[in-house]
């Protein structure tokens, strides 16, 4: 933006597709790109009135997201109906007795990894929260029962050189 120029928000067309004409091994597969192109044409004809969410199939949907909403999240999954409904449920839990904080405030580090061996789990140390554990807490979204969470001893296993 130039100095003094006001920011203009605008919609962004995002599509979630599982099938793009070939699979991970380059074998021929269903191609949803022509359906997405048709939706794109509808969107371009009337961006203003195009719906915020369009479900074509369970694995194929379109989201219209304003640039101001995107922030650092370009993943279309973050603008899907189920994801947004889940976020709203969590936000609705917020009150005097429930505080909602980012996971990064509850742990020392967040990292990607294959996972720990069963023998690494101990009764004390750094808590490990896995998606399987979180899915068991669906009836109490936003509340974690630490008694059900396994702990891992703090250690670093360096990969062996090949």
Residue 77 in domain: yes
| Residue 78 and residue 128 share a domain | no
Q: Is 5 part of any domain?
A: no
Mean pLDDT of 97-116: 67
Instruction: Provide the number of structural domains found in the chain.
Output: 2
E strands present in the chain: 11-17, 20-22, 28-31, 53-57, 60-66, 121-122, 126-127, 151-152
Residue 59 confidence (pLDDT) above 80: yes
pLDDT at 61: 92
Measured distance CA(85)–CA(64) in Å, rounded:
16
pLDDT winner (highest mean) among 66-70, 98-102, 114-118: 66-70
pLDDT at 32: 95
Decide if 19 is inside a domain. Answer: yes
User: Is 160 a domain residue?
Assistant: no
Q: Tell me the pLDDT band of 93, cut-offs 50, 70 and 90.
A: confident
> Do 77 and 37 fall into the same domain?
yes
Domain ranges, residue 16: 11-89
- 22 and 58 assigned to the same domain: yes
């Amino acid at each position: 933006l130039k100095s003094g120029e006001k920011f203009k928000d605008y919609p962004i067309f995002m599509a979630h597709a599982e099938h793009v004409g070939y699979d991970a091994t380059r074998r021929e597969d269903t191609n949803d790109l022509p359906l997405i192109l048709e939706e794109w044409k509808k969107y371009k004809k009337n961006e203003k009135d195009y719906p915020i969410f369009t479900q074509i199939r369970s694995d194929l949907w379109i989201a219209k997201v304003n640039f101001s909403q995107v922030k650092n999240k370009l993943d279309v999954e973050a603008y899907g109906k189920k994801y947004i409904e889940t976020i709203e449920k969590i936000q609705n839990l917020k009150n005097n007795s429930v505080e909602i904080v980012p996971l990064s405030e509850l742990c020392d580090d967040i990292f990607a990894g294959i996972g720990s061996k069963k023998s690494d789990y101990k009764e004390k140390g750094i808590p490990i929260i896995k998606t399987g554990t979180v899915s068991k807490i669906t009836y109490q979204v936003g509340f974690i029962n630490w008694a059900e969470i396994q702990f891992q001893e703090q250690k670093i296993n360096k990969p062996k050189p090949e």
